[in-house]
Amino acid sequence: MALFNKQNKEVFASPLNLNNPIMVQVLGICSALAITSQLKPAIVMGLAVTIITAFSNVIISLIRKTIPTRIRIIVQLVVVAALVTIVSQILKAFAYDVSVQLSVYVGLIITNCILMGRLEAFAMMNKPWPSFLDGLGNGLGYAIILVVVGTVRELFGRGSLLGFQIIPDSFYSAGYVNNGMMTMPAMALILLGCVIWVHRSFFYKEEK
Amino acid sequence: MEHLISLFFRSIFVDNMIFAFFLGMCSFLAVSKNVKTSLGLGAAVTFVLVVTVPVDYLLQTKVLDPLGLSYLSFILFIAVIAGIVQIVEMVVEKYTPALYDALGIFLPLIAVNCAIMGASLFMQQRINLDPNNTQYIGSVWDSIVYAFGSGLGWMLAIVSMGAIRERLQYSDVPKPLQGLGITFILVGLMAMAMMCFSGLKI
């Protein structure tokens, strides 16, 4: 089937691992760190970014031949801003508590470098379908990191996952204490540094 | 007046753009390789913040709120930021070519810097706060002071990072941790140090 030939598969799969937007391309760090103190907002944010990246890639790819190069940044920003506004209104209507937790970071998806990076590097030069896959892949690659960091921070910082208590009460009565440091912003940076460390030490040896 | 001073210091140290909210991390990581370029980018960000935040404040309070259109704020803010960055770039190029050369390619990049958009969005949230709160922004002056303080805080962060990374070149870092990894851990340690300012009150 032409929809999933080898090249398209590559486009979709490479950002999940070897070309991960956060770990390798260093894009979209800001929001990745700020909203990962719990798992639920991390998942919602990952999904929102995936949807917005995929659809903005398609839209820009459809109109790529009519955009004058001089003002392309503003055109891209407006397309992205419109999509973000829609997502933010949907979140406010159906998941109000999460949208309060995410606060300004929903709006900051507009300036998320993953979006601009993919629009500039991929959607401006490719057909809509590969662009859609590229957006989906990059969004999911971003979401994976959010979920990993979010899981570690919520598990050790609050002893729960998605709001349910995981660490049993007997641990607490035996003297176990939640690591309050994990919920602080500083720990997100150090954790992400460690995730990058582990990733590089596993995947970069084979290439040499 | 007291409120302005307290807001100013709070936005530099406690609500630091980088260490507390991680705004503008992308360019922070990419550009903080030495002190000189860090200074240039820091100055450019401060400058654009001081221009855009008051404009966005006026738009929010005088146009969007009375008309009940605040859901359009994302599109409007980003258009204002992109437009102002373009104008600032042209004006700086025409009247102070020396500054233009110093800022170089950073000016156009600032349009997509999350710190600029983030400051406008935080400002939008803070309009609704209680006036006794030190974070409250209730006038154009408040918004200018807030923007200037945030810009200085960002500049402080990137310049100190640039200085540390200059020294880091001579140290022996484990191979997989080199570059990005160690930078993240460093920023984390710096953020921990900045936490001692929380609760600061003037």
Signed CA dihedral, B134, B140, B143, B147: sign only: negative
Q: Specify the range with the lowest mean pLDDT, choosing from A39-53, A58-72, B51-65, B105-119.
A: B105-119
pLDDT, tens digit only, all 202 positions of chain B: 788 888 888 888 888 888 888 787 777 877 777 787 788 788 888 888 898 899 988 888 888 888 877 778 888 888 888 888 888 778 878 887 777 776 666 677 777 777 888 888 888 888 877 777 777 777 888 889 889 999 999 999 889 888 888 888 888 877 777 777 788 888 888 888 888 877 776 6
The H or E element containing residue A119 is: none
Domain-located, residue A13: no
Domain-located, residue A100: yes
Domain-located, residue A29: no
pLDDT in tens, B121-140: 888 888 877 777 777 777 88
The alpha helices in B96-132, defined as continuous H runs, are: 97-103, 106-109, 114-126
The answer to whether the CB of B32 falls within 8 A of the CB of B38 is yes
The CA distance from A165 to A155, in Å, is 9
Determine the structural domain holding residue A47 and report its residue range: 41-199
CB nearest to A193's CB, from B125, B175, B188: B188
The CA distance from A192 to B185, in Å, is 8
For residue A132, pLDDT beyond 80: yes
CB nearest to A104's CB, from B19, B125, B177: B125
pLDDT at B103: 66
* Residue B58 at interface with chain A, using a CB cutoff of 8 Å: no
| Number of domains chain A is built from | 1
- The closest alpha carbon to A5, from A137, A129, A128, belongs to A129
* Residue A49 at interface with chain B, using a CB cutoff of 8 Å: no
CB nearest to A193's CB, from B26, B125, B184: B184
CA distance A5 to chain B (A): 33
* ipTM surpasses cut 0.85: no
Residue of chain B whose alpha carbon sits nearest to that of A77: B78
The answer to whether the CB of A115 falls within 8 A of the CB of A131 is no
A3 — pLDDT class (breaks 50, 70, 90): low
Q: Give the pLDDT mean for A73-89.
A: 85
Domain-located, residue A109: yes
Residue type for position B144: I
Residue A190: C-alpha distances to residues A103, B41, B177 (Å): 23, 25, 12
SS3 breakdown of chain B: % helix, strand, coil, rounded to 5? Answer: 75, 0, 25
pLDDT in tens, A160-170: 777 677 777 77
Domain-located, residue A117: yes
For residue A130, pLDDT beyond 80: yes
Residue B76, token pair as written in the block: 């409007």
Given an 8 Å threshold on Cβ–Cβ distance, is B25 in contact with A30? yes
For residue A110, pLDDT beyond 50: yes
pLDDT at A208: 43
Judging by beta carbons within 10 Å of its beta carbon (0-12, 13-18, 19+), is residue A59 exposed, middle or buried?
buried
Angle between helices A128-158 and A6-13 (to 10 degrees): 30
Which of B23, B77, B114, B154 has the highest number of chain A CBs within 10 A, making it the mutation to test binding with A? B114
pTM: 0.81
A45 or B37, which is more confident: A45
Domain-located, residue A18: no
pLDDT at A1: 43
pLDDT at B148: 92
Domain-located, residue A26: no
Which of A73, A102, A110, A191 has the highest number of chain B CBs within 10 A, making it the mutation to test binding with B? A110
Domain-located, residue A158: yes
- The closest alpha carbon to A21, from A144, A106, A132, A124, belongs to A144
CB nearest to A29's CB, from B26, B75, B192: B26
The CA distance from B12 to B4, in Å, is 12
The CA distance from A137 to A21, in Å, is 9
